[in-house]
């Protein structure tokens, strides 16, 4: 009852855990809508581990690259003014030289902040402030707003994603784009996808909506399902999949089942809002998924593992076929390649066939 801001994933974990009980009269009075949504039950505890992201992220390297470029630009202007070029009056040149000196000092102090320690500047990157400036990014931000507020409602509600949780925005954007690709490839499930997104009646409700029963699972065709944040544990799932030791919760899974309902193959897709060395930690997660998710007879089920990132760098990149021997990376960012999710879904369906 004291909670104010709880992460969607923590709510999903609590609702799926089964550790609920009948709500008391006080809890019904305090949160009637929540108790009603849970069918008269109450989740007494929601535990949340705050995610720590490394500083080697997309925006930090982009901003540092801009700072270095600005320093070089100011240095060049200072040299030109000191040489008294372009017919500038000496008094005016002295004023501007003093201003440039002060600006360069401020930039130097800014570039030495702990935020940029040990980072390699990359002027080719663009900070995600362009979500509000560049038309392609603006359209993605608008799509995120509609998803958080309820797709098709027209409500102008900004998603509650602070600057330090930009990775949440990126993960949700990737998931919505995968849903759009699924609606294009499997027209029969369009109504289900629209109903799923319209169920988000308020900001921060996507995780709670997807946690309700079968809402997290989307049946594309007979025997092929897409699931959001599916939980794999030591207890076998209805399709026989499990993990021997650790619990695994990949962001998006595409699974194929045989006629008896047993899982015969899974493709794991995880958005990772990282770059450089930090992205390699995400690659290690994919290796864990490949080894940990098995059938009830111990057979490995993950036949494809894909990381979606703004800039994969020198990692293996997916083509028309999805490799089964190692994880691969896909460059996915607004405005980069509008067909990337369509190709990714097609490759995942192909390898599962």
In this prediction, residue 3 has a pLDDT band, given cuts at 50, 70 and 90, of: low
User: Strand, coil or helix: what is 218?
Assistant: strand
Is a pLDDT exceeding 80 seen at residue 302? yes
Query: How far are the Cα atoms of 172, 173, 177, 243, 273 from residue 59, in angstroms, in the given order?
Result: 18, 17, 22, 35, 10
pTM value?
0.56
H/E run at residue 98: helix 90-111
Angle at which helix 58-82 crosses helix 90-111, to 10 degrees, equals 160
Q: What is the pLDDT of residue 157?
A: 34
**Token pair for 36:** 């009603």
Query: How far are the Cα atoms of 11, 110, 123, 136, 279 from residue 66, in angstroms, in the given order?
Result: 39, 12, 6, 21, 22
State the average pLDDT for the chain.
76
User: Strand, coil or helix: what is 348?
Assistant: helix
Pair 257, 219: CB distance under 8 Å: no
Give dist(CA 322, CA 303) in Å, integer. 9
Convert the pLDDT of each residue in 247-276 to its tens digit: 888 889 999 999 998 999 999 999 888 766
Query: What percentage of the chain carries pLDDT values higher than 70?
Result: 72
In this prediction, residue 213 has a pLDDT band, given cuts at 50, 70 and 90, of: very low
Give dist(CA 60, CA 65) in Å, integer. 9
């Amino acid at each position: 009852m004291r909670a104010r801001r709880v992460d969607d994933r923590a709510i999903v974990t609590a609702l799926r855990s089964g550790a609920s009980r009948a709500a008391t009269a006080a809890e019904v009075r305090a949160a009637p809508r929540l108790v009603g949504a849970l069918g008269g039950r109450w989740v007494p505890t929601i535990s949340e581990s705050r995610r720590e992201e490394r500083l080697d992220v997309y925006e930090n390297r982009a901003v540092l690259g801009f700072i270095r470029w600005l320093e070089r630009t100011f240095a060049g202007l200072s040299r030109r003014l000191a040489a008294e070029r372009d017919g500038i009056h000496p008094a005016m040149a002295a004023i501007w030289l003093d201003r440039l000196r002060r600006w360069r000092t401020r930039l130097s102090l800014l570039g030495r902040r702990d935020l940029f320690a040990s980072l390699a500047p990359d002027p080719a990157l663009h900070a995600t402030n362009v979500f509000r400036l560049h038309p392609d990014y603006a359209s993605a931000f608008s799509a995120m707003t509609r998803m958080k507020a309820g797709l098709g409602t027209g409500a102008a509600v900004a998603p509650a994603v602070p600057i330090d949780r930009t990775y949440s925005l990126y993960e949700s954007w990737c998931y919505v784009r995968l849903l759009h690709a699924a609606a294009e490839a499997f027209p029969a499930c369009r109504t289900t996808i629209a109903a799923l997104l319209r169920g988000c009646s308020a900001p921060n409700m996507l995780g709670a909506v997807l946690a309700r029963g079968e809402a997290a699972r989307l049946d594309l065709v007979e025997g092929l399902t897409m699931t959001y944040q599916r939980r794999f544990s030591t207890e076998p799932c209805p399709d026989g999949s499990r993990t021997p030791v650790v619990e695994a919760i990949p962001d998006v899974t595409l699974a194929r089942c045989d006629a008896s309902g047993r899982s015969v193959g899974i493709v794991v897709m995880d958005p990772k809002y990282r770059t450089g060395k930090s992205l390699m930690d995400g690659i290690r997660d994919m290796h864990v998924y490949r080894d940990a998710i098995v059938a009830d007879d111990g057979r490995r089920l993950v036949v494809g593992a894909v990381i979606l990132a703004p800039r994969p760098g020198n990692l293996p990149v997916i083509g028309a076929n999805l490799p089964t021997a190692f994880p691969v990376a896909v460059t996915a960012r607004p405005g980069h390649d509008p067909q990337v999710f369509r190709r990714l879904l097609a490759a995942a369906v192909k390898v599962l066939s």
